Structure 1
Amino acid sequence: MELSIYRGDGSGRRHETPAELPVPQRSQLVKPESYIADSALRDACNVALLLGQPLLLTGEPGTGKSQFAYSLSWELGFASPFKFETKSDSIARDLFYTYDALRQFQDVQSGLKSGNALDYITYRALGIAILRTKEPEEVRHLMPPDSLHSEKQRSVVLIDEVDKAPRDFPNDLLNELDQLYFRVPELGNVKVEADPALQPVIIVTSNSEKDLPDAFLRRCIYYNIPFPGPDRLAEIVACHLGLHTDGSDGFLQAALNLFHRLRSPSVGLRKKPSTAELLGWLISLRGFAGEVGNPMTNLDVVTRTLGSLVKTAEDQPKAQAMVKRWFEERSTNPAE
């Protein structure tokens, strides 16, 4: 069955009422209970938990570095992680809180408010996690009423893509990450320390776009997530999407074969497709080809869904040529 949600054929036809779009199937790809960690990642995580140190994860984009934090938090019975998305202009304080000094100044000038500093503080990922290790009554004077928690708890904090930040960012966090505290100068330089019994679990990810300071690395447990081999990749796909290599149509086996060919150095793609992109591609293939039959026997379907895997203009012609050769090889040797 042809997938036809948007036609774009110039026919001038319009839905009488707003169209009902399908529920995005991408939600299947981010379920924390479906995450499969390799044994070395499990060991690194357990070392970090034992020592109470941050776990620093590197690896190709799309290998599950960020998603690991959600898997860990889910399995340990915690709420979803507090996520800090590192930016090129991030400073160390941003990890704990932000302070809107401009709005405070404007309010004081206009006479709208007295300028109480607490009204202009917004706590961020690690700041919230540290505050939530304390009894509510202990920190009531530090938090806006609408953000005060009901009971103390432990949290997972994800510091995502730390290598995007200026070099001073990790250097300025050394003591705070060691001892899990922060200060708020706007509230009289009060020091907020995590309860050691409930200290946050910190996961840091990096795409290795630039080196991290040695002093920062010394404070972390490190693991590089390797790109999964064929067997583990098949296991990951089966767990997320329920597709198995022993299916009668050979869909997954053929898709993985082509996927690995596209990643091979001989094809020369500048940006190799990732595990996450593979999962999205498999969903796209099924969407275009329908539930019956093997989409990997249809060159047109495979070509039309390549945008799920290949994301640059310079790589598209190389990938299309590779796909065409792959189909030609399979037509002469169906057993491949």
Structure 2
Amino acid sequence: MNFPFYTEQPPKTAPTKPVELPQSRQKTQTRPEAYLPDERLVKAVNVALLLGQPLLLTGEPGTGKTQLAYSLAHQLGLGDPLKFETKSTSTARDLFYFYDALGRFHAIQEATVTKENNTLKQAVDYLTYNALGEAIIRTKPPETVKAYLPADFSHTEPRRSVVLIDEIDKAPSDFPNDILNEIENLYFRIPELGNKEIKTTENLAPILVLTSNSEKPLPEAFLRRCIYYNLPFPEKERLEKIIEARLDTFPNNDFLNQALEIFLQLRREGSLRKKPSTAELLNWLMVMRDIYPNVDNPIATHPKCVLDTLSSLVKMKEDIDKAEDILIATK
């Protein structure tokens, strides 16, 4: 693999075969076995598990809120979490299922359903379960919910799941209030299939992890039903432990110390409008290490590498000049 992959001077003729590129590093950073929760987060998680209440996490983007759900599911042996990605258009029903009413209408118009006793079966095949709806269905014995299982839905035995409701503050302001009872009592209804209540099996109740970037406040009635923890940004010593756990090759100490000093300088109060996150720090270290694989300390040997890789850390136009000034001042 030859770096750089893209150059200022394009070749006169295109390569005869595709250029070999590195694989995505996302999984390197997000391995659940490499997630290091702090002591207070561990206590909050255990309180939520004891009380059977949702865990609401806030904190800067990139501090590990989403990854906590994967770590929790990993430690409890529950497989990957069922994830609901909240959008600005999300409604309460979206948390449980999506029903393709238009597709169903067209099917009826085309006379694909011809017998009355086939109506429910045909209707259920236009149903797609979303995270919390699927988690509740999976707590039930298959024979008790078979009328509500689409043909492509595999369910052989009751099980517990971790449900991640990510960035709940993105949803419309009435979304949290609309799901109060459902979140607390873990049930839902499907009006398109007779409106019968489908309620979780209590000893297999889904474990709920909700994240928020605090872009807008959540209702007090909703907060009352949650266990709350705000993930603080890690101190330098904790950042070192996170880097050691997340990167398969631990950086040289001199390199790591210099990189962390630059990173923390960029994060200092009043420096940049958008402070670089832990996830961006990991990306930055991987990039410098990969550009100079045989160099113990790229920053000392190739000082220009910091400016060359600044796009890993600085993500706003107005911060670019500030960051460059900071870097020049710290040389």
Fold match by TM threshold 0.5:
yes
Equivalent in the alignment of 2:266: 262
1:68 is the counterpart of 2:71? no
| Distance across 1 between alignment mates of 2:244 and 2:111 | 61
Deviation at 1:106, TM superposition (A): 1.8
| Distance across 1 between alignment mates of 2:155 and 2:185 | 22
**Secondary structure class of the residue paired with 2:158:** coil
Matches within 5 A, 1:157-236: 157-236=163-242
TM-score by length of 2: 0.94
| Distance across 1 between alignment mates of 2:313 and 2:153 | 41
Size of the aligned set, in residue pairs, is: 324
**Secondary structure class of the residue paired with 1:314:** helix
Equivalent in the alignment of 1:121: 127
TM-score by length of 1: 0.93
Deviation at 1:15, TM superposition (A): 1.7
Q: Which amino acid aligns with 1:18?
A: P
Equivalent in the alignment of 1:97: 97
**Secondary structure class of the residue paired with 1:75:** helix
Equivalent in the alignment of 1:27: 27
| Distance across 2 between alignment mates of 1:164 and 1:226 | 21
Note closer, same or farther for the CA distance 1:156–1:12 as it changes in structure 2 (3 Å cut): same
| Distance across 1 between alignment mates of 2:280 and 2:207 | 28
Q: Which amino acid aligns with 2:299?
A: M
Deviation at 1:136, TM superposition (A): 1.1
> Deviations along 1:178-237, whole A, 9 cap, x unmatched?
111111111111111111110000000000000000110000000000000111111101
- 1:134 and 1:152 in contact (8 A); partners too: yes
| Distance across 2 between alignment mates of 1:25 and 1:212 | 34
> Deviations along 1:31-70, whole A, 9 cap, x unmatched?
0000000000000000000000000000000000001000
| Runs of 4+ off more than 6 Å | none
> Deviations along 1:285-313, whole A, 9 cap, x unmatched?
11222232311222211111110110011
1:323 is the counterpart of 2:327? yes
Equivalent in the alignment of 2:81: 81
Equivalent in the alignment of 2:139: 133
| Distance across 1 between alignment mates of 2:13 and 2:320 | 32
**Secondary structure class of the residue paired with 2:330:** helix
Equivalent in the alignment of 1:330: none
**Secondary structure class of the residue paired with 1:24:** coil
Equivalent in the alignment of 1:282: 285
| Distance across 2 between alignment mates of 1:308 and 1:94 | 34
| Distance across 1 between alignment mates of 2:294 and 2:188 | 54
Deviation at 1:146, TM superposition (A): 1.7
Tell which deviates more after alignment, 112-121 or 46-55. Answer: 112-121
Match of 2:305 among 301, 308, 314: 301
Deviation at 1:79, TM superposition (A): 1.1
- 1:69 and 1:156 in contact (8 A); partners too: yes
| Distance across 2 between alignment mates of 1:320 and 1:6 | 23
| Distance across 2 between alignment mates of 1:266 and 1:219 | 36
| Distance across 1 between alignment mates of 2:305 and 2:291 | 6
Equivalent in the alignment of 1:331: none
Q: Which amino acid aligns with 2:103?
A: R
> Deviations along 1:111-157, whole A, 9 cap, x unmatched?
23456321211110000000001111111111112203111111000
Deviation at 1:8, TM superposition (A): 4.4
Q: Superposition RMSD on alpha carbons, in Å?
A: 1.6
1:112 is the counterpart of 2:142? no
- 1:26 and 1:280 in contact (8 A); partners too: no
